[in-house]
Structure formats: structure tokens, C-alpha cells
């Protein structure tokens, strides 16, 4: 049995960019996930939260960018991106707000 907060701690948000919008046509869901999340945890979370059938999960560690603010230099945080490949019969219409 899974903890109630497990699903919400694993997946932080849906990642929206030009590339991720193009990948929706190929049944690929791009998510921003917890840095410590594994492929198995992400797969379980997607199945339980979105009721989708997952084929495979690829992970990518994104390095934080260097930013200047006046004289100060600081770095954005590192984070992890997950590419979730869905089975061909799955539909990603839950992302659209059209009725």
C-alpha cells in the first residue's frame, strides 16, 4: 500500500516547453520530478495519478543555471526531468482544458 503523499512528492509538475508540446503527439509525457525519484516510483505515480499505461521512463538530470543579480552571482537549483513514454492506445487529452 502506498502512502498518500508518495504520489505528490514524486511528481512535482508537468513540464511545458516547445519540445514537450511536440512530444505529446508521440505519446510522451514530460514531467518535473523529485531529484531522488527512481524510474519505478515515477511509473507507479503516473499510473495512479493519471490512469495511464506506461511503456518506459527515461530520466534526465538538469543542471541549474548561473545567474547574475547586480554584483552577486548565484546558481539555480539542479532538478530532474522524466520522459514518460505511454502505450500507443493512451490519450493525452487530460492536458487540454477544452470541453
- pTM for the full model? 0.82
Of the candidate CATH numbers 3.40.50.10860, 3.30.70.330, 3.40.50.720, 3.40.630.30, the domain formed by 6-89 belongs to: 3.30.70.330
pLDDT in tens, the chain (99 residues): 466 677 778 999 999 988 888 888 888 999 999 999 999 999 999 998 888 899 999 999 999 999 999 999 999 999 999 999 999 888 776 556 544
Cα-based distances in Å from 98 to 49, 67, 85, 95 = 20, 37, 23, 9
Amino acid at each position: 500500500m502506498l502512502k498518500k503523499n508518495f504520489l505528490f512528492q514524486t511528481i512535482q509538475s508537468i513540464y511545458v516547453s516547445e519540445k514537450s508540446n511536440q512530444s505529446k503527439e508521440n505519446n510522451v509525457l514530460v514531467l518535473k520530478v523529485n531529484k531522488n525519484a527512481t524510474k519505478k516510483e515515477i511509473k507507479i505515480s503516473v499510473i495512479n495519478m493519471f490512469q495511464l499505461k506506461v511503456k518506459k521512463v527515461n530520466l534526465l538530470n538538469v543542471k541549474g543555471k548561473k545567474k547574475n543579480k547586480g554584483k552577486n552571482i548565484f546558481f539555480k537549483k539542479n532538478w530532474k526531468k522524466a520522459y514518460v513514454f505511454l502505450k500507443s492506445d493512451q490519450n493525452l487529452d487530460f492536458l487540454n482544458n477544452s470541453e
